[in-house]
Amino acid sequence: MSTGGVRITKGTWLFLLGLGLVVIDQIIKVLVKTNMSIGENFNVIGEWFKIYFIENEGMAFGMKFGGQVGKLLLSLFRIVLFGALLFWIRSLLKKNVPTGVVVGLTLISAGALGNIIDCLFYGLLFSESTYTTVAQFLPEGGGYAPFFFGKVVDMFYFPIIDTTFPEWMPLVGGNPFRFFAPVFNFADSCVTCGAIYLIFFQWRFFSKEEKK
């Protein structure tokens, strides 16, 4: 591929795509973290698309995992997974594989890196976000957590259905029901979209690879 007489390789385009996604993810997170307190929210589209600021210990969609030890293990796993994905993408670029395959893997890699940055550096760079205070960038007293123990910033919330089960329903009658309840970020979206795309549109490639 060439632009203005300069040849740009597929690897370069994938790098720029991944870099752009990570930059978008980090811009959104920094804006939310430095302008909102924990639990603060506002409507974007009606009542079913909100910006809702929460933080988690490192799992996707607002979930937590196993305290400090679990968080460290999860961060290490993310880094290993990210390295493996980069190695896989690099090896696939040397073969004649469909472009969609490496694009899907790039989306997943960018999403993984976006959340890795939160875990590794946010604890060093920001003061703690609370329900009453907004975080400060590079605070005088230092950040809220050591290297590897930063929290992941989440903000996208889609309570498309927010209702209560009818009383006549067994077991769940009268209980609240909300869809979609998890709060997530742009990086989570990249991972999810990349995985869904590979499963539904590139499954033939992986089926051939498995046979080989």
Q: Catalytic residue, from 25, 118, 154, 162: name it.
A: 154
User: Which residue type occupies 63?
Assistant: M
Determine whether 188 is an active site residue. yes
Say which residues have a Cβ less than 8 Å from residue 130's Cβ, sequence separation at least 6: 37, 38
In three-state form (DSSP H/G/I as H, E/B as E, the rest C), the secondary structure along the chain is: CEECCEECCHHHHHHHHHHHHHHHHHHHHHHHHCCCCCCCEEEEECCCEEEEEEEECCCCCCCCCCHHHHHHHHHHHHHHHHHHHHHHHHHHHCCCCCHHHHHHHHHHHHHHHHHHHHHHHHHHHECCCCCCCCCCECCCCCCCCCCCCCCEEEEEECCCEEEECCCCCCCCCCCEEEECCCEECHHHHHHHHHHHHHHHHCHHHHHHHHHC
Determine whether 154 is an active site residue. yes
Q: Are strands 6-7 and 183-184 parallel, antiparallel or unpaired?
A: unpaired
Q: Which residues are catalytic?
A: 154, 188
